[in-house]
C-alpha cells in the first residue's frame, strides 16, 4: 500500500485482492482496489484514474474476451476550504497513486488523503488540530497479519487508549487542550461545523482467508478502534467508513476473536500515528508543533 501527496491513496491494486466491504445495509461486493481521497465529492473522481490504471494492467472482471471491468471502492473526506477549495484530486492523481502503491514506501501524516484532514473540532474549527493519514500493522501469533490505513478527519478529539493521554483536543490559548467531550457537556454548545463535513475513513486488511461474513465482521469491529481513540466518536456530524480487505494468501485458519481484536488495535494505532505525524497546514497546527506555556 502507498499513497500520493495529491490527496489520493490506492490500496493493493497489484494483488487482485478480494475486497469485501461492509455498509449499513450489509451490501457487499468483490473489488480490485480501494481509493481514499480528499476533495469531498469531487475527490471521487480519483477512482476513475484507479479504474483506468487497473484496466491497463488487465485487472478486473473479464466480461468478454475484449472487455475488462475493474471494480473500485472509494471514500472521501470533506476538506474543502482549508487553504483552498480549488485543489482537488482527479483521475491523474488516482493513476499516480496506483504507481506509488507499487514503488514507494508509505508516507504518513499530512500527505495524500490526509492532507486537508483536521480533528478536535468540538470547540469550533478555529481551535482544531491537524489530522492526517496513518498506518499500523500486527502479526498474529499464528502468523497472519492485520493492518490498517486510516484518514482521520473527525470532529472529535484524539485520546491514546493505551496510555490515557489526550493527544488532541480543542486548543486553548496556552497550548493545552480542552477535553473534547467535556466541552460539550459543561457549557453552551460551541460553534461546531455543521453537516456531515467530518469523517474518518480507512481500510483494515489481512492476508488471512475470510468469508464475506467474516470480512464484514472485521470491518464492523474495526470501528471499535475508532471509538477507542476518537472522542466523541460516530457523531451526527461524522460519516465514518471502514473497508475490509482479505487477500487469502495466509491459508491457515485464523481465530476471529483475535482477528477482530487486532483490527480494532491497528485502527486505533493508525489514528494515533496520523495525528502525531501530521504537520500544520492552513493555520491549523499539528500536535507536534504545539507547546504549552
pLDDT tens-digit series, residues 177-212: 999 999 999 888 778 777 668 999 999 999 999 988
Q: Collapse the DSSP code of 40 into the 3-class scheme (helix H, G, I; strand E, B; otherwise coil) and give the result.
A: helix
Question: How far apart are alpha carbons 11 and 32 in whole angstroms?
Answer: 9
Distances (CA, A) of 66 to 53, 58, 132: 16, 10, 41
User: Running DSSP on this structure, what letter comes out for residue 235?
Assistant: -
Are 95 and 51 a contacting pair, CB within 8 Å? no
> What local confidence, expressed as pLDDT, does residue 88 receive?
87
Question: How far apart are alpha carbons 269 and 12 in whole angstroms?
Answer: 20
Q: Examine the pLDDT at 105 and tell me if it is beyond 90.
A: no
pLDDT, tens digit, 9 for 90 and up, residues 127-169: 999 999 999 999 999 999 999 999 999 999 999 999 999 999 9
* Pairing between β-strand 166-168 and β-strand 157-159 as defined by DSSP bridges: antiparallel
CATH architecture designation of domain 2-289: 4-Layer Sandwich (3.60)
Return the C-alpha torsion angle 275, 279, 283, 289, nearest 10: 80
Indicate the average pLDDT of the chain: 87
pLDDT, tens digit, 9 for 90 and up, residues 259-270: 999 999 999 999
**Going along 78-144, which residue ranges are E strands?**
118-119, 129-130, 132-139
pLDDT bracket for residue 293 (50, 70, 90): low
**Cα torsion 211, 214, 148, 202: sign:** positive
Amino acid at each position: 500500500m502507498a499513497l500520493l501527496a495529491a490527496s489520493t491513496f490506492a490500496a493493493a491494486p497489484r494483488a487482485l485482492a478480494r475486497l469485501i466491504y461492509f455498509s449499513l445495509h450489509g451490501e457487499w461486493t468483490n473489488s480490485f482496489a480501494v481509493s481514499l481521497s480528499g476533495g469531498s465529492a469531487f475527490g471521487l473522481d480519483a477512482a476513475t484514474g484507479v479504474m483506468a490504471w487497473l484496466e491497463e494492467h488487465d485487472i478486473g472482471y473479464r466480461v468478454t474476451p475484449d472487455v475488462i471491468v475493474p471494480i473500485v471502492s472509494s471514500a472521501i473526506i470533506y476538506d474543502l476550504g482549508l487553504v483552498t477549495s480549488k485543489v482537488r484530486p482527479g483521475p491523474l492523481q488516482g493513476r499516480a497513486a496506483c504507481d506509488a502503491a507499487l514503488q514507494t514506501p508509505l508516507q504518513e501524516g499530512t500527505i495524500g488523503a490526509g492532507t486537508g484532514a483536521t480533528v478536535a473540532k468540538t470547540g469550533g474549527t478555529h481551535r482544531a488540530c491537524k489530522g492526517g493519514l496513518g498506518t499500523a500493522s500486527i502479526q498474529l501469533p499464528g502468523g497472519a497479519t492485520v493492518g490498517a490505513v486510516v484518514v482521520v478527519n473527525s470532529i472529535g478529539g484524539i485520546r491514546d487508549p493505551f496510555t490515557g493521554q489526550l493527544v488532541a483536543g480543542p486548543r486553548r490559548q496556552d497550548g493545552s487542550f480542552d477535553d473534547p467531550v467535556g466541552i460539550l457537556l459543561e457549557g453552551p454548545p460551541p460553534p461546531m461545523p455543521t453537516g456531515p463535513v467530518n469523517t474518518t475513513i480507512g481500510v483494515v486488511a489481512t492476508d488471512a482467508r475470510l468469508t464475506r461474513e467474516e470480512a464484514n465482521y472485521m470491518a464492523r469491529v474495526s470501528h471499535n478502534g475508532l471509538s477507542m481513540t476518537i472522542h466523541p466518536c460516530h457523531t451526527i456530524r461524522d460519516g465514518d467508513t471502514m473497508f475490509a480487505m482479505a487477500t487469502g494468501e495466509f491459508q491457515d485458519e485464523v481465530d476471529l476473536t483475535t482477528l477482530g481484536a487486532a483490527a480494532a488495535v491497528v485502527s486505533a494505532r493508525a489514528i494515533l500515528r496520523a495525528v502525531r505525524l501530521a504537520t500544520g497546514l492552513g493555520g491549523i497546527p499539528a500536535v507536534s508543533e504545539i507547546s504549552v506555556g
